[in-house]
Structure 1
């Protein structure tokens, strides 16, 4: 084999190897990007009560789940607000956060009472499913609307 043929062969091998490595990296990246099943927006006002919906199919049995503040991370929830063992709440950071639905029937919707401006943002409902990367993840954005204040020059008549 001439030097020119050997050099051409090395370039073809390097190009194929680099392309295969790039394809592998891209495939792994896509595998680890969290799948989001819904990006719903919920609106509420200061002092209101809102419910962020989240339900799952219990035909395979009940399972653990959590609600966290922020987008869903790779595993579990970040900044956990409330957790269940599949039948009852096992952790809650405040009485303002409640699961009022039938947890054992898969209704794990989060109710937040006495809203504040700080409640605005993303919330993650994560239901742990068996197997790798099978968790049900629902992300909800809570928008706090401005409360209309009475103008200072408003006169009340009696």
Structure 2
């Protein structure tokens, strides 16, 4: 019974650990010479508690590197390790500067409970400090004719090394900073700030520039893929009378859907209205022409009375002679 009681007392302090009252990422990887910020989240009830950061795998053998109640730090930016607690966000952050490979190992975010019956609320993370290279974005894309900028990171030991930008599989394409720390031509600009990063600006992109490339520092290199896309085409308006089934089928899906319903209906409506308008105009012109023709005909043709008057106008006065076709009639 006594042993069970002792076992219960020994397990009681570690209950908060299993409840995960402090959390952070399981692993961080950083280049040698760089800086790293670790976020440690805690439960609201720990807002006023002291937080600490230590190196080690267990609390008993953990070397404290920083505490929130340690006010001896004058300028946190110059410290190897600094902390900042934000009770509103329920978060404290730890920043480590100038990391070396020997700084790799297990670290712990901790909240000091200060009770013999409860263990501190803690969580562990593994930090790996490596030498070599990395890249901010390993896949870049840009439109034809535009530019993209790749940011390549390197560890401290490659600060003075030559930096290169090469197309994968073509060593003749390499562009190097040389001792000047920079390079520029019509298609590529390389700038090395000698502080752990250099940038490559790929200018005037063409479709054939789509490929894998290498950022290189010394003997280290890392791959970057550049994808060049065509600028979006601006489609000219389609005349309603030309919007046939074939043209709709060749449109993009979004265009085809809208054109297949509203646009085609509007096109047919406009065509119908146009046809009716043309027919009315032609009818009016035809009627007008026919009327003008009849009027001209009436003005140019003599009336029946006028024709009769002209026919018998020879009998209106004077003498008249009658010619007979038979001699007997002539004698009479």
Interval of TM-score (by shorter of Structure 1 and Structure 2): 0.5 to 0.7
1:136 aligns with 2:121: yes
Preserved contact between residue 30 and residue 36 of structure 2 (Cα < 8 Å): yes
Q: Secondary structure at the match of 1:114?
A: coil
Cα 1:136–1:32, aligned 2, differ >3 Å: closer, same or farther?
closer
User: Which residue is 1:52 aligned to?
Assistant: 38
TM-score of the aligned structures, taking structure 1 as reference length: 0.61
> How many pairs align?
131
Preserved contact between residue 72 and residue 126 of structure 1 (Cα < 8 Å): no
Q: In structure 2, which of residues 51, 68, 71 is the aligned counterpart of residue 90 of structure 1?
A: 71
Unaligned runs of 5+ in 1: 1-19
Q: CA deviation at 1:141?
A: 0.7
Structure whose CA Rg is larger = 2
Q: Secondary structure at the match of 2:29?
A: strand
Q: Secondary structure at the match of 1:115?
A: coil
Structure whose residues are more often helix by fraction:
2
Query: What pairs with 1:29-68 in structure 2 (closer than 5 Å)?
Result: 29-31=10-12, 35=17, 37=20, 38=23, 40-59=26-45, 61-68=47-54
1:58-102 alpha-carbon deviations (Å, 9 max, x no partner) = 45641112111112415xx831110113xxx4356x702122x44
Q: Distance in 1 between matches of 2:44 and 2:66?
A: 19
Structure whose residues are more often strand by fraction:
2
Preserved contact between residue 46 and residue 115 of structure 1 (Cα < 8 Å): yes
Q: Secondary structure at the match of 2:92?
A: coil
Tell me the C-alpha RMSD between the 2 structures.
Answer: 3.6
Q: Secondary structure at the match of 1:55?
A: strand
